[in-house]
Structure 1
């Protein structure tokens, strides 16, 4: 059954004032090229894509079971139409539980849920000296182990500290298998970052956070990203990264995209929640370990979009940062853009960027609390 909605439609060619017709995929976009400032109609945007999601609605990916489905529902209510469920550094048995559940969620999307595209394996192949909020179960990687994990759920993104012995060779092997290898939770130098990129690494995990910083005589991993990266993810909750640093990254990295790094505390009141094996505390809009270390966020991508526009980005550019660039990073042509043949993943927002409707593969989601 075909549905049609009208408004200011953001297409790959620019804004169209008209109608978009769709079933599970977009069938037609009609109307004329326009500047949305010439009318007061709603914005119709590509659905948001989040490649770093740990939790939401009180649930954590590491719980396994049905937790991923609950998480996918809460994020759908904030405009995320597809996502990567993200693991924590943990003992092997915990990661197995999480990936088994993610694999099941990939096979079957439930009602009102964002599409789970696969997993982001954030650890355990990180540097124990740069854990951030990760539990201390870091260990070196082997190709055989990653291949075993890949059999449980599609590993779309894997975070690696390239300075660990043997990891540069692993980066090349994983990239050759089609995984997006990201540099993160690392004490690596600028030179080690450049070497990782030369070996096939393609991005950086939550840029600036949990990596060696930029200094004018020791550029560090941040310097490698700013000088050489085509893609990197960044958390724009205005707590993890200063607005000035966000603007620096936007100028330096052509296809910077935004993630939430959201936790079980997302969409929940202040209090205690789990992040993997850690107890974390939500207070004053942030999530922290008992020692004050930032431990993920409560961000949603609709708020990320508003934050980017508040920093001065044009809406069309901000949408790329929460949708199109992430799709391009994964090599997905049929999401993250509104064009005939693409999935009907749509977000409708009013002129103040408040969410009015979300469609996932043509299905309108219930935006009310479960």
Structure 2
């Protein structure tokens, strides 16, 4: 049976003002213009969050599969139909256990993959990462994790100035894993060396990085200026001023900008006391900070709120949608499966009202209750 969803359909190339998405089973069968359509709702591809640590009171960071299922379900209700389970810096035993625990969820489709944000990060730029667990990149550790995951490990964030980092980047790329640059005190040239070695994502650019200086541009300008790097931005109005977000997105363009949540368990929850990577976090007015030094500790963001923030910052809806869906899907190698309203792709879509609030969510052809 064919299902039809009509409205203002956002395709990879723009908006079909009066259009219809046709779904057959779990696939999109066609996207067409229907001049008689008068439905004012937006119809956009399901959001793809390539950097999130949890939500709805649940976390990915402990490696607990039940908690991971619940966190993914929470974000699904906000339009995120594909996400990476992001872990923070931790002992190797936890990394190994989490990989074994999450690999079946990846195979099942609950998760799109695993993202290790650390522990191969700069102590000077660790932010809310636990300094107790930071260490230099290990090719042996990464090889074991990639082998264990059997395709589940999708991305690893590391600081390229650390000893062994470039060898780690080359190893990851050779195994089909995305190497990302983040939490780094690298120079401009050190960052470009990582890009030359195959790094293709900038982890929450600006945050957890050596700041821009006119005589030492550092990682931010190196990543923004690299045509083969997708730059993540946390569009919550806290990590970045809206003016910074709009400027950086205009430099990178919609095809190199991935809006992420960097959400922790507190997303969708009341203010109060939480935990991230073994560290106490306090959430006040929706902003998560470490209790020990007030560093920003992830976010309480959801992808639908990120869309509204980006549009409020002046980014056009079609461009913002590409930044939330099409570009991040391509960045982690899933652009041929999800991230756009195009025939043959999985039928993941979000229906939004004129204020860009979620009305309905479809994943793999089924409406989410």
Contact (CA 8 Å) 2:139, 2:167: kept in 1 or not? no
Q: Aligned ranges for residues 1-370 of structure 1 at < 5 Å?
A: 1-16=1-16, 17-22=18-23, 23-32=25-34, 41-63=40-62, 64-109=64-109, 115-136=110-131, 137-153=133-149, 154-229=152-227, 230-254=229-253, 255-290=256-291, 291-332=293-334, 333-366=336-369
Distance 1:202 1:84 in 2: 16
Distance 1:44 1:7 in 2: 6
Partner secondary structure for residue 282 of structure 1: strand
Offset, 1:32? 4.4
Question: 1:111-150 CA distances to partner (integer Å, 9 max, x unpaired)?
Answer: xxxx411111100111122211011211112222112112
Partner secondary structure for residue 340 of structure 1: coil
Contact (CA 8 Å) 2:12, 2:326: kept in 1 or not? no
1:112 match: none
TM-score (norm. length: structure 2): 0.93
Contact (CA 8 Å) 1:135, 1:277: kept in 2 or not? yes
Structure 2: gaps spanning 5 or more residues = none
Structure 1: gaps spanning 5 or more residues = 110-114
Offset, 1:80? 0.2
Partner secondary structure for residue 228 of structure 1: coil
Instruction: Detail structure 1 runs of 4+ shifted over 6 Å in the superposition.
Output: none
Distance 1:294 1:25 in 2: 39
Offset, 1:2? 2.8
Distance 1:15 1:152 in 2: 42
For structure 1, which segment, 9-18 or 352-361, has the greater mean C-alpha deviation from structure 2 after superposition? 9-18
Question: 1:18-51 CA distances to partner (integer Å, 9 max, x unpaired)?
Answer: 32221200112232489x9xx6611110000000
Offset, 1:12? 2.8
Alpha carbon RMSD of aligned pairs, Å? Answer: 1.7
Q: How many residues align?
A: 358
Contact (CA 8 Å) 2:117, 2:156: kept in 1 or not? yes
TM-score (norm. length: structure 1): 0.93
